[in-house]
Amino acid sequence: MYNRITIISLGVLIAACILPACGKKDAGCKLDSECPNGQICRNMKCEAAPAANEGQKEQADANADAAKNDAAKPEAKHTTPQQIDLASFGDNKNIKLDDLGLDIDYILTDTINLRDNTKLEIAPGVTIDMQSSSAGFDVGDDAALIVKGTADAPVIFKSTNSSVWTGLRFSSKNKDNALNYLQIQNADGEEHVIGLDFESRVAMDHVTLDGSSNDGIWVGGDAKFTKFTNNTIKNCKGYPLVLDSYAHLGMIGDGNQYENNKQFIRINPHVFDNVQNAVIKKQPIPLYLADGMNIQGESGVLTIEPGVELVFEHEKEAIINDSIQLKIEGTAENPVTMRGMNDEPNFWRGMRFESTRPSTISGLILSQTGNDEQPSLYIRNDANITLSNIVFKSTEHRCLEIGGEAKITNKGGLTFEKCGKGNIFDNRIEGDDDKKVLADLPVAAAE
């Protein structure tokens, strides 16, 4: 028994003496458990453990280094186009499509319906492939589509599989709707590529619409362009722009181009009513008045600026009614032109001036009139109008007919190139009709 206890004690003593605490530092440590209490093993040496706050700092530094290393890692890149999830476009959401750096970033197979207050933002450089005839955008309620292309990184909507996609529809009154540096390729829709209806509001700048078997852009209802500048509409078999109101003309800004379409801006309505201070500006292509022009309003002013070209359909006419003050302000270099769609006499009826407000017609070319045996320009009985530098041509009827009580100031420059039944028929002259037919109108108005 004595010997056993002696042996065990001797073993404990020997084991204790091999630890660094016994002074054998060369042996070193491998684990904290091999060090005295309160010490840790570091670099094979037992050292005092750091204070608690120093340990936390070391851990925080280690975590920061790890986060920095993670941030330095390249972000995973998409290698194939991403399918746009239509289910993600719920109400009251803000959604963004970023540029994935691919030739085709996203694939769309159906219509994206934006409703309520949802906003979809499309970043510069994004290309979307429309892969079905129903693919497109329908923006309603108070939703917004915001296309943020740039000159260097335009947004592109196109189809790569010969699909004719539906285009863009706006019925949203949200003023954030904006299409900037957007390229729209081979879209058709049922009648047009971009449609604005109801009280929609859309800004369009540097939009290129290329290719359609229908019209390019249609604006109806009380819809408005909040901006329409520097856009190009080309290769449409229909009209580049179709407007359902004369008021929409005032929203067309500068820098727009129209190429290889039906080269007219079509205006559908016959009546231009409630005119206050309206201006018809020169456009790069003529204005086609499909149903004629009837200008109405109380004490309104209509100004037609130099270079405007108005084209009328068969049997239609231009009527200036009520108390409208008309100002046609053509010049020798940029006359205002009013003509028929076809270059033939008597194609459309001509102009009827039936307002009592003092008005002026200057620098006007009036041609292809006389349909229904109407004069090219008829001036009602109690009109007050100043005429100068008007060219009448290509009619088989009278060029100018003046009502009996009309007050005419002729400042000269009236030219009659072809008037089948006389240049002027002046009802202010008493006697038979043959006495009322004049070759020219005196500069001083007849009493």
* 272 or 48, which is more confident: 272
Give Dmax (Cα) for the chain. Answer: 165
H/E segment holding residue 8: helix 2-17
Rg for the chain (alpha carbons), in Å? 41
- In this prediction, residue 214 carries a pLDDT of 95
141 vs 172, 176, 385, CA distance in Å?
A: 5, 13, 48
Rounded (10°) CA dihedral 61, 65, 70, 74: 150
Least Cα distance to 123 among 158, 98, 104, 159 occurs for 98
The whole-angstrom separation of Cα 330 and Cα 334 is 6
Q: Any residues with CB less than 8 A from the CB of 208 and at least 6 apart, and which? A: 182, 183, 184, 231, 232, 234
Q: Note the helical H segments in 81-158.
A: none
- Nearest CA to 143 out of 167, 175, 165, 183 is that of 175
CA torsion angle 226 231 236 241 (round to 10): 30
Region 200-225 average pLDDT: 96
- Position 278 scores a pLDDT of 92
User: If residue 234 lies in a helix (H) or strand (E), which one and from where to where?
Assistant: strand 232-236
Per-residue pLDDT at 384 = 94
pLDDT at 242 over 90: yes
CB within 8 Å of 304: residues ≥ 6 apart = 279, 280, 310, 326, 327, 328, 329, 330, 336
Structure tokens at 314: 């068969």
- Looking at residue 17, what is its pLDDT? 41
Question: Which amino acid, residue 429?
Answer: I
β-bridge partners, 364: 336, 390
Q: Which helix (H) or strand (E) holds 12?
A: helix 2-17
Question: Does 295 or 64 have the greater pLDDT score?
Answer: 295
- Residues 183/208, Cβ–Cβ less than 8 Å: yes
Distance in angstroms (rounded) separating the CA atoms of residues 99 and 147: 12
pLDDT bracket for residue 51 (50, 70, 90): low
Q: Is the pLDDT of residue 283 over 80?
A: yes
* Residue 115, both tokens: 């409703």
- Lowest-pLDDT range, 42-51, 279-288, 396-405? 42-51
Phi, psi angles (nearest 5°) of residue 54? -70, -35
**Of 341, 393, 343, 384, whose CA–CA distance to 364 is shortest?**
393
> In 18-132, which ranges are continuous DSSP H helix?
52-72
In percent, the amount of the chain with pLDDT more than 70 equals 87
Structure tokens given for 304: 């037609």
Cross-strand partners of 185? 210
Q: Which candidate, 396, 392, 418, 394, places its Cα nearest to that of 343? A: 394
Reference 140, options 163, 101, 111, 179; nearest CA is: 111
Average pLDDT score, the chain: 88
**Residue 434 banded pLDDT, cuts 50, 70, 90:** confident
Q: If you search the block for the tokens 């008007």, which residue do you land on? A: 390
pLDDT one-digit tens code per residue, 101-127? 999 999 999 999 999 999 999 999 999
Q: What is the mean pLDDT of residues 281-306?
A: 95
Burial of 190 (0-12, 13-18, 19+ CB in 10 A): exposed
**% of the chain at pLDDT higher than 90:** 70
- pLDDT reported for residue 148: 98
Name the range with the highest mean pLDDT among 7-21, 28-42, 323-337. 323-337
Q: Tens digit of pLDDT for each residue in 130-183?
A: 999 999 999 999 999 999 999 999 999 999 987 789 999 999 999 999 999 999
Give DSSP secondary structure letters for 60-122. Answer: HHHHHHHHHHHHHSPPPPP-SPEEP-GGG--TT-EEEE---SSSS-EEE-SEEEE-TT-EEEE
Q: What's the pLDDT band for 14 if we cut at 50, 70, 90?
A: very low
